[in-house]
Chains A and B, each alone.
Chain A
Amino acid sequence: MTITEKILAAHAGKEKVSPGDLLNAKVDLILANDITAPIAITEFGKTGAKKVFDNKRVALIPDHFAPQKDIKAAEQCKMLREFSKEQNLDLYFEVGRMGVEHALLPEQGIVVPGDLVIGADSHTCTYGGLGAFATGVGSTDVAAAMASGECWFKVPESMKFIYYGKLNKWVSGKDLILHTIGDIGVDGALYRAMEFEGEVINSLPMSGRLTMCNMAIEAGGKNGLIVPDAITEAYVNGRAKRPYKFYTSDKDAVYADIREYDCSKIEPTVACPHLPSNTKQASELSSITIDQVVVGSCTNGRIEDLREAAEIIKGKKVNPNVRMIVIPATQQIYLQAVREGLAEIFVEAEAVFSTPTCGPCLGGHMGILAKGERALATTNRNFVGRMGDPGSEVYLSNPAVAAASAIKGRIALPEETI
């Protein structure tokens, strides 16, 4: 069996499962945010359940339109707060303690290897970077699971992606996953598990692993997964709030497709409007001028990402035609960025350094685009209207390319600024 099949089987109390099997499995953690939890809370009420199945396993995180951007958003956040109090939830994160959910939960050791996690947010697949099975579902699925502690799954076929060779300078997990989505398309892994492996993955830091699994959904994937190893152990050791278990894929596990990538051929990669699969090498796009740069999100808002951007922009200024917005994904990352002097580097470069929020990634607040404006962002989606007006454009890149582009006022390679 693959690691995906093993985790699903273990949570469904079965010895063996195969792709296509339908099963009810116990979930270790359920999460929802200020956009999706209000519907889940309402639907939960209709199940007839009075209490959630376990008040230690439901996480509610107001991060999308929080700090509350308007009255309606405040009302939605209030629903989360009141429900959390009523249900005595351990895992409610108020503004000031919250962070972008998929950065926060791994950081706090709330999601651990071997977990089965569902979240009413499509980027729940991020936790595959830890060796957990995690997938996005809707609010009603969350409501049902909050009541029963279970969720139904169809066991997905798995695809294997092998990365070999040596990573080029300024190429990170973001470039690998953009390159992969560019190769297979936005439905290239539809309904399937995406398992990433190979010598490059073996030495990829946890931040890059989380970034890769985060974007599995952008290829239509049900989940992303990296078999846990020493890097995983080093990350979760001392952090994990619950016991964890490392699963691996068997040597004779069956894959629907196996793809290999020679990483020495992968350059810094950018997804052009309006699909994450519309990728080009950053070097081909030097004529594309930009109005805004965003560094942040569940994809690339971790401390490693901020360090990468700060390294490029240190001692330089953001181009006068550009607004650069840097958003650490959690309070801990924010504090770390302050202590390491990264916040100072960004502010001195005349960038905005914001409190954690999903904000502009989904066109919520903190950096919305006007008609005709163009952004380069380290986020995950560049659909029409994603960051503002339907007549605006979003390009996606890694943090180093984003910082270099902020300096140049156009899409640029880090080498051009050093």
Chain B
Amino acid sequence: MILKGKTWKFGNNIDTDAIIPARYLNTSDPEELAKHVMEDADPDFPNKMQKGDMIIAEANFGCGSSREHAPIALKASGIQAVIAKSFARIFYRNSFNIGLPIFESDEAVAKITQGDEIEVNADNGVIKNISKGEKYSAKPIPPFMQELIAAGGLVEWTKKRL
């Protein structure tokens, strides 16, 4: 699978309250959540982002709460993928469980500037920076995570085993 889109950059420790503030958690409707995605990190983000864009962030993206609403809001808003130096543990699990593609790459985060157009090969983790004509690689996705993706997420994986 090839993902292609424009990039938005964020800093370290983007927490789940920034991704989707708790004041909106009286619903779990993805479309409602998407209206407020990243609002407390950048109030204009829901208006200026376009479907297909990607987020590039520094370390520990998704720290804080276990709310699955965070990757759900990102996915429903049309964010195709998140590339970060590292992800908080629960956010990492949740993203694979619900099917939001995420990649870890120090190099890509260091070299991509906001607005660059990139192409991510989700199968081998190769990230092409079309704007800059560069190529980076993401850490390979662990085999079990690949199994989850191939099954269509954790629910489908569980269904087959019950």
Interface residues of A (CB under 8 A from B): 22, 35-36, 38-39, 42-43, 46-49, 64-65, 69-70, 72-73, 76, 119-122, 124, 136-141, 143-144, 147-148, 152, 186-187, 190-191, 217, 220, 222, 275, 362-364, 381, 383-386, 388, 390
B88 touches A190 (CB 8 A): yes
Cross-chain contact A381 with B64 (CB below 8 angstroms): yes
- B141 in the interface, Cβ–Cβ < 8 Å? no
Q: Contact at A144–B158, with CB atoms within 8 Å?
A: yes
Q: How far apart are B40's CB and chain A's nearest CB, in angstroms?
A: 4
With a cutoff of 8 Å between Cβ atoms, the chain A residues found around residue B88 in the complex are 187, 190, 220
Smallest CB-CB A-B distances: 9 pairs:
A72-B26, A138-B94, A187-B60, A140-B97, A138-B68, A362-B22, A144-B158, A136-B66, A122-B66
Q: How far is the CB of A213 from chain B (nearest CB, A)?
A: 16
A119 to B68, CA, bound (A): 12
- Among the 9-residue stretches B2-10, B13-21, B124-132, the one with 4 or more Cβ atoms under 8 Å from chain A is B13-21
Interface residue B162 (Cβ < 8 Å from any Cβ of A): yes
Contact: B162 with A191, CB < 8 Å? Answer: no
Structural contact, A136 and B22, CB atoms closer than 8 A? no
Least Cβ–Cβ distance between A245 and chain B, in angstroms:
26
Complexed CA–CA distance, A119 and B22 (Å): 18
Taken residue by residue from 38 to 51, chain B's Cβ proximity to chain A (1 for < 8 Å, 0 otherwise) reads as 01110100000000
Contact indicator per residue, chain B 20-64, by CB within 8 Å of chain A (1) or not (0): 011101111000000000011101000000000000000110011
Contact A384 B18 (CB under 8 A): yes
Residue of B nearest to A143 (CB): B155
Q: How far apart sit A124 and B93, CA to CA, in the bound complex (Å)?
A: 15
Q: How far is the CA of A190 from the CA of B13 in the complex (A)?
A: 12
The answer, yes or no, to whether B146 is at the interface (CB within 8 Å) is no
Task: Please tell me if the beta carbons of B93 and A141 are within 8 angstroms of each other in the complex.
Answer: yes
Answer whether A38 and B28 are a contact pair too, CB < 8 Å, given A47-B158, A190-B60, A381-B17. Answer: yes
Closest to A79 in B: B28
Whose C-beta in chain A lies nearest to the C-beta of B39?
Answer: A390
Complex interface residues of chain B between 133 and 162 (CB less than 8 A to chain A): 142, 144, 153-155, 157-159, 161-162
Whether the pair B18, A36 counts as a contact (CB closer than 8 A) is: no
Additional 19 contacts, C-beta under 8 A, given A190-B86, A217-B64, A390-B40? A47-B155, A47-B158, A72-B26, A120-B66, A121-B65, A138-B67, A140-B153, A140-B155, A147-B162, A186-B60, A186-B63, A187-B13, A187-B88, A191-B89, A220-B88, A363-B22, A364-B25, A384-B15, A384-B18
The one of B27, B66, B72, B159 that contacts A72, using a Cβ cutoff of 8 Å: B27
Q: What is the CA–CA distance of A42 and B89 in the complex, to the nearest angstrom?
A: 23
Query: Which residues of the partner chain B approach A362 to less than 8 Å between Cβ atoms?
Result: 17, 22, 65
Report whether A36 and B17 are in contact in the complex, using a CB–CB cutoff of 8 Å: no
Instruction: Tell me if B98 counts as interface (CB < 8 A to partner A).
Output: yes
B90 at the binding interface (Cβ < 8 Å): yes
Chain A residues with Cβ under 8 A from B154's Cβ?
140-141, 143-144
State the CA gap A363–B67 with chains docked (Å). 14
Instruction: With both chains docked as a complex, state the minimum distance between the C-beta of A7 and any C-beta of chain B, in angstroms.
Output: 17
Partner of A140, one of B25, B65, B94, B161: B94
The 23 listed contacts between A and B (C-beta, < 8 Å) are: A35-B69, A46-B155, A64-B25, A121-B66, A122-B64, A141-B97, A143-B158, A147-B158, A147-B162, A148-B162, A187-B63, A190-B88, A191-B89, A275-B13, A362-B22, A363-B17, A363-B22, A364-B22, A381-B15, A383-B40, A386-B22, A390-B21, A390-B43
Query: Smallest CB–CB gap between B72 and chain A, Å?
Result: 8
| Residue from A139, A220, A390 in contact with B60 in the complex, judged by beta carbons closer than 8 Å | A220
Q: Which of A143, A152, A381 contacts B144 (CB 8 A)?
A: A152
> Which B residues are in CB contact (< 8 Å) with A384?
15, 17-18, 40-41
Q: How far is the CA of A386 from the CA of B67 in the complex (A)?
A: 14
Select from chain A the residue with minimum beta-carbon distance to B32.
A72
- Given A46-B155, A143-B155, verify A383-B18 contact (CB < 8 Å): yes
In the complex, which residues of chain B have a beta carbon less than 8 angstroms from the beta carbon of A39? 28, 68-69, 72
- CB pair A73–B155 under 8 Å, yes or no, is no
Assembled-state Cα–Cα distance A136/B93 (Å):
10
From A69, A121, A139, A186, contact of B13 by CB (8 A): A186
Residue of B nearest to A65 (CB): B26
B63: chain A residues at CB < 8 Å are: 186-187, 220
Docked Cα-Cα span, A79 to B41, in Å, equals 31
Interfacial chain B residues near A144, Cβ < 8 Å:
154-155, 157-158
Contact: B64 with A383, CB < 8 Å? Answer: yes
Assess whether B40 is in contact with A138, with CB atoms less than 8 Å apart. Answer: no
Q: Which residues from chain A contact B97 at a C-beta distance below 8 Å? A: 138, 140-141
Q: Is there contact, CB below 8 Å, between A22 and B158?
A: no
B89-127 CB contacts (< 8 Å) to partner A? 89-90, 93-94, 97-98
- Least distance between A50 CB and chain B CB atoms (Å): 10
Q: How far is the CB of A404 from chain B (nearest CB, A)?
A: 28
Smallest CB separation, B156 vs chain A (Å): 8
| In the complex, chain B residues whose CB is within 8 Å of the CB of A386 | 17, 22
Q: Inside 8 A of A65's CB, which chain B residues have their CB?
A: 25-26
Residues in A neighbouring B40, C-beta threshold 8 A: 383-385, 390
